[in-house]
Amino acid sequence: MNQKHTVIVTGGNGFIGTNLVQLLLESRQYHVINLDALTYAANPLSLEDLEGHPDYEFVKGSITDRQLIDSLFEKHKPMGVLNLAAESHVDRSILSADDFVQTNVVGTYTMLEAARMYWNTLPDELKQQFRFLHVSTDEVFGSLGEDGFFTEETPYKPQNPYSASKAASDHFVRAFHHTYGFPTIITNCSNNYGPYQFPEKMIPLMILNALSGKPLPVYGDGSNVRDWIYVEDHCKAVKLAFEKGKPGEVYAVGASNEQKNVNLVNQICSILDNIAPPIEVPQLRDRGLKSYAELINFVQDRLGHDHRYAIDASKVQRELGWKPEVGFETGLRKTVEWYLSNPKWVDQASGGSYGEWIEKNYAWRTKKEAE
Ligand code: NAD
Ligand code: TDX
C-alpha cells in the first residue's frame, strides 16, 4: 500500500471537522493530526471512537498558538493543512465578535504564516505537493435578492461580524498565494446540515426544541432563504479540492437546494410528526399537540439578517468532477433520525455552558419586538 499522507486538520472536533476527519480516515489515504481548542462548539463524544486509531492524533490547542503550530509542523512534517477551526455562529458574532476576530482572522493568519515558513524549508518535490486548504463560507459574498447566484467571481460583501471575519481570513489566504506563491485553495460553501451539528444552529435547534415541546423560533417572517448541503457532500468536495484543486483557485460549493426558513421548519415538523408523533413522546403526551408545527413561533428578526444565499457550483462540478449525492428529503430525514438516536451526544452538547448561555442571551428570541 502507498504511504499515507500526514495532514493537519484544524477544528476537527466541530460539526464539519468531525465528518471530514471520518471521511479522510475511511479513505485510508491519510494520517490525521486534529488541532482543536475544544471550545463550546466541540463535542468530545464526536470522535471518541477514534481513540487509539493508528492514523489519528488529537492535539488540544489553538490556531492562534504559533509555538504549538510550529512544533506540529516540525514533528509531523505534514503534506498539507485543512483549516476548518473557526467561530461559526452568526448570532454569537452579533453579540460580540472578539473571539471571531481572534480565531477566524488572527488564527487563520497564524496557521498560514507557520505553514508558509515550514513550506519554505521543503525540497522542491514536497513543496509542489503541499496544499493549504481553507474552508470558507458563501456568507462572504453578502446577500442576494430574489434572483441570481454566488459564483467564484462574486465580489466580497460581508454583512455581519462572522462573515466579515471569514472574509478577512479569505483575503489573507488569497494574498499568501498572490504574494508568496504559497499553494492555497479556498472552498466557499453554503449552509451545511447533518449529524454532529451544534444545537444552536437552525436545523438541530428546531429538531431538539420540538422534541422537548419548546417554541420553534423563526426569525422575522421566515422568508429568508438558505441553500442547504448535506455535510458529507461538502466534505467530499473539500477532499477533492485538496487533492485535485489548483493552487490559487477558489471553489464555490453548494447542492442547489434553496429553502425558505419557514418551509424548512415545516418540513422538519412533518418528518417528526411521522417518526416521533407528539402523542408518543412521554413529555408531550398531555400537551394535546397534533403536529409539531403548532410550536412555530415568529420572533424578532436577526440584526442585519441576510435575505438569500444561493450557490452556482458549476466550477467544482466541471473542474473537479464533484456532485452532491444526498437529496434534501433523504438528508433531512437522516439528520432528524441521527438526533433522535444520539441522546448522549445531544445531552453533552445541550447542557453545561451552552444551556446557561442560551438562557442569558436569547431572551429576545422568545417574543416579537414590541411594535
Ligand atoms: P463548528 O463551530 O461546529 O466547529 C468549529 C470547531 O473549531 C470546534 O471544534 C472548535 O472547538 C474549533 N475551534 C474554535 N476556535 C478554535 C481555535 N482558536 N483553535 C482551534 N480550534 C478552534 O463549525 P463548523 O460548522 O464545523 O464549521 C467549520 C468551518 O466551516 C468553519 O470555518 C466555518 O466557517 C466553515 N463553514 C461552515 C458552514 C456551515 O454551514 N456550518 C458552511 C460553510 C463554511
Ligand atoms: O433559531 C433560529 N431561527 C431562525 O430563523 C436560528 C438559529 C436561525 N434562524 C434562521 C437564520 C438563518 O436565516 O435560519 C437560517 C439559518 O441560520 P443558522 O443555522 O444560524 O445559519 P446561518 O446564519 O445561515 O449560517 C450558517 O451557514 C453559513 C453557518 O452557521 C455558518 O457557519 C456558515 O458559514
Q: What is the DSSP letter of 43?
A: -
Active-site annotation holder among 87, 139, 227, 306: 139
Beta pairing class for 225-230 and 258-260:
antiparallel
Residues 6+ positions from 37 with CB-CB distance below 8 Å: 60, 61, 62, 63, 85, 103
Q: What was the pLDDT predicted at 367? A: 58
Residue 177 lies in a domain: yes
Q: For atom 9 of ligand 1, which residue has the closest CA? A: 14
166 or 283, higher pLDDT: 166
**Ligand 2 within 6 A of CB of 165:** no
Calculate the dihedral angle through the C-alpha atoms of 132, 166, 64, 82, rounding to the nearest 10 degrees: -30
Q: What is the mean pLDDT of residues 96-120?
A: 98
Residue 109 lies in a domain: yes
The answer to whether 172 and 134 are in contact (CB under 8 A) is: no
Distance 202 CA to ligand 2 centre (A): 5
Dist. CA 69–CA 79, nearest whole Å: 14
Q: Is the pLDDT of residue 368 over 70?
A: no
Residue 236 lies in a domain: yes
Which DSSP string do the residues of 234-294 spell out, in sequence order? HHHHHHHHHHHPPTT-EEEE--S-EEEHHHHHHHHHHHHHHHS-GGGSGGGGGGT-S-GGG
Q: What is the helix (H) or strand (E) element at residue 216, kind and residue range?
A: strand 216-219
The answer to whether 316 and 238 are in contact (CB under 8 A) is: no
Residue 46 lies in a domain: yes
Distance 130 CA to ligand 2 centre (A): 34
Read off the C-alpha cell for 203.
436545523
Dist. CA 295–CA 304, nearest whole Å: 25
Which DSSP string do the residues of 26-37 spell out, in sequence order? HTT-EEEEEEE-
CA–CA distances in Å: residue 102 to residues 108, 148, 197, 212, 314: 9, 33, 22, 35, 33
Q: Is the pLDDT of residue 294 over 60?
A: yes
Active-site annotation holder among 138, 170, 200, 258: 138
End-to-end CA distance of the chain: 67
Residue 274 lies in a domain: no
Q: What was the pLDDT predicted at 357? A: 77
Q: Is the pLDDT of residue 363 over 80?
A: no
Distance 306 CA to ligand 2 centre (A): 10
Q: For atom 15 of ligand 1, which residue has the closest CA? A: 86
Q: What is the mean pLDDT of residues 44-57?
A: 96
3-state secondary structure (DSSP) of residue 370: coil
Q: What is the DSSP letter of 229?
A: E
Q: What is the percent of the chain where pLDDT is above 90? A: 92
Active-site annotation holder among 30, 56, 162, 292: 162
Domain count, the chain: 1
Dist. CA 352–CA 40, nearest whole Å: 9
C-beta atoms surrounding 249 within 10 Å: 17
339 annotated active-site: no
Dist. CA 349–CA 197, nearest whole Å: 9
| CB-defined site of ligand 1, < 6 Å | 10-11, 13-17, 35-39, 41-42, 62-64, 84-88, 103, 107, 135-137, 166, 189, 191-192, 198
Q: From the alpha carbon of 200, which atom of ligand 2 is closest? A: 7
Dist. CA 236–CA 324, nearest whole Å: 9
Mean confidence (pLDDT) of the chain: 96
366 or 234, higher pLDDT: 234
Which CATH number does the domain housing residue 35 bear? 3.40.50.720
Q: What was the pLDDT predicted at 283? A: 87
Confidence of residue 111 (pLDDT cuts 50, 70, 90): very high
Residue 167 lies in a domain: yes
Residue 52 lies in a domain: yes
Residue 251 belongs to domain spanning: 5-195+229-256+304-326
Residue 271 lies in a domain: no
Q: Is the pLDDT of residue 369 over 50?
A: no
Q: What is the mean pLDDT of residues 99-126?
A: 98
Tens digits of per-residue pLDDT, 308-334? 999 999 999 999 999 999 999 999 999
Ligand nearest to the CA of 64: 1
Residue 225: what are its φ and ψ, rounded to 5°?
A: -115, 135
3-state secondary structure (DSSP) of residue 313: coil
Q: Where on the phi/psi map is residue 317: left (φ > 0), alpha (ψ -120 to 50), or beta?
A: alpha
pTM: 0.97
